[in-house]
Amino acid sequence: MLLKNKNAVIYGAGGSLGGAVARAFAAAGARVFLTGRNTVSIQKIADEIIAADGSAEVAEVDGMDEEAIKRHLDNVVSKAGTVDISFNAVGVDVVQGIGLATMKMADFVTPVTSTLQTRFLTATAAAQVMMKQRSGVILSLTATPGGIGYPFTGGFAAACSAVESFSRNLAAELGVYGIRVVNIRSGGSPDSKVFKDAIDGRPDVMATVLHQMENDTMLKKLPLMAEIANTAVFLASDMAGGITGVTVDVTCGTTAGLNYRVDRISDQP
């Protein structure tokens, strides 16, 4: 098991992707500490993990609250001894679908500020623990707009780019302590709650949207949550011991080039 004897703290564990990563970490042998503001949804995930013979504990922690984050990490250390993995999947409200030239400044700036606040607080709190251990892995998550010009994504694109820059710089500072810092850039996962809700509410519109998104990728598909979660497991494991200071792209090729001009049936023998 890749993460046997590892202790993993997950922020925003009640969300689709946070929950998927939590389950994957536990299945790989990690003892997972699930946090969020809604303990009901987190407890459901913990119950699933425990039912599958995994180890999971739940705590109410606001990923925007510096003192709450530090108190929780102190509790984790007192119980488990170490914090080996920190992963932040806290969601932030974003206004999209509006051109930047006509967007209100607050709608653009707020998601950037909020996203950086929670990523900074959780990562630096984990870093303070890991520096004493001289080991650990800090993971973060962004999306396609962090790696390519993507119109009408508002402050979300700027937030993604900022998180990727923060991850690189933190890795540069923490490497001497044996700590790795890696960001995962995902594409939209059609099996996530956000997409499922949109598909249920507007199936005709979303069919077109999903087709366009798939057509922009090299693989002509969007990454599923399990693919993102499996990448997180690998990056958190010792098998990825030489990987730090980078963003690992799991967008099925979107940020390497928009491939809408390549048709599925245009392959030549």
Q: How far is CA 51 from each of CA 46, 48, 56, rounded to the nearest angstrom?
A: 8, 5, 10
Q: Which amino acid is at 269?
A: P
- 90-93, long-range: CB within 8 Å, 24+ apart, which pairs? 90/11, 90/12, 90/15, 90/18, 90/36, 90/63, 90/64, 90/118, 90/122, 91/12, 91/15, 92/118, 92/159
Residue 256 per-residue DSSP state: G
Q: Mean pLDDT throughout 179-207?
A: 89
95 within some domain: yes
pLDDT tier, 127 (very low <50, low <70, confident <90, very high otherwise): very high
Structural domain tally of the chain? 1
Q: Give the residues across from 250 on adjacent strands.
A: 186
pLDDT tens digit sequence for 76-118: 999 999 999 999 999 989 999 899 999 999 999 999 999 999 9
Q: What is the pLDDT of residue 52?
A: 97
Buried b / exposed e along 179-198 (16+ C-beta atoms within 10 A): bbbbbbbbbbbbebeebeeb
Residue 265, pLDDT > 70, answer: no
d(Cα 91, Cα 183) in Å, to the nearest integer?
16
Q: Give the residues across from 186 on adjacent strands.
A: 143, 250
Q: What is the pLDDT of residue 264?
A: 55
Q: Give the residues across from 179 on adjacent strands.
A: 136
Of residues 78 and 203, the one with the higher pLDDT is 78
- Domain range enclosing 135: 7-190+223-252
Q: Are 154 and 114 within 8 A, CB to CB?
A: no
Q: Give the residues across from 32 on adjacent strands.
A: 8, 56
Q: Torsions phi, psi of 156, nearest 5?
A: -60, -45
198 within some domain: no
The angle formed by the CA atoms of residues 102, 155 and 216, to the nearest 5 degrees, is 95
The 10 Å Cβ neighbour count of residue 215 is: 15
d(Cα 109, Cα 103) in Å, to the nearest integer?
10
pLDDT tier, 180 (very low <50, low <70, confident <90, very high otherwise): very high
Q: Torsions phi, psi of 241, nearest 5?
A: -60, -20
Q: What is the pLDDT of residue 258?
A: 65
Q: Mean pLDDT throughout 121-127?
A: 98
pLDDT tens digit sequence for 150-163: 889 999 999 999 99
d(Cα 23, Cα 21) in Å, to the nearest integer?
5
207 within some domain: no
Question: In terms of residues, how long is the chain?
Answer: 269
214 within some domain: no
212 within some domain: no
pLDDT tens digit sequence for 216-264: 889 999 999 999 999 999 999 999 999 999 999 999 998 877 666 566 5
Q: The CATH number of the domain where 153 resides is what?
A: 3.40.50.720
pLDDT tier, 269 (very low <50, low <70, confident <90, very high otherwise): very low
137 within some domain: yes
Q: Are 34 and 7 within 8 A, CB to CB?
A: no
* Helical segments of 153-202, H only: 154-174, 193-201
Report the chain's mean pLDDT, rounded to a whole number: 93
d(Cα 93, Cα 113) in Å, to the nearest integer?
11
pTM tops 0.85, yes or no? yes
pLDDT tens digit sequence for 10-45: 999 998 899 999 999 999 999 999 999 989 999 999
d(Cα 37, Cα 175) in Å, to the nearest integer?
31
Q: Which amino acid is at 60?
A: E
Q: What is the pLDDT of residue 192?
A: 84
260 within some domain: no
196 within some domain: no
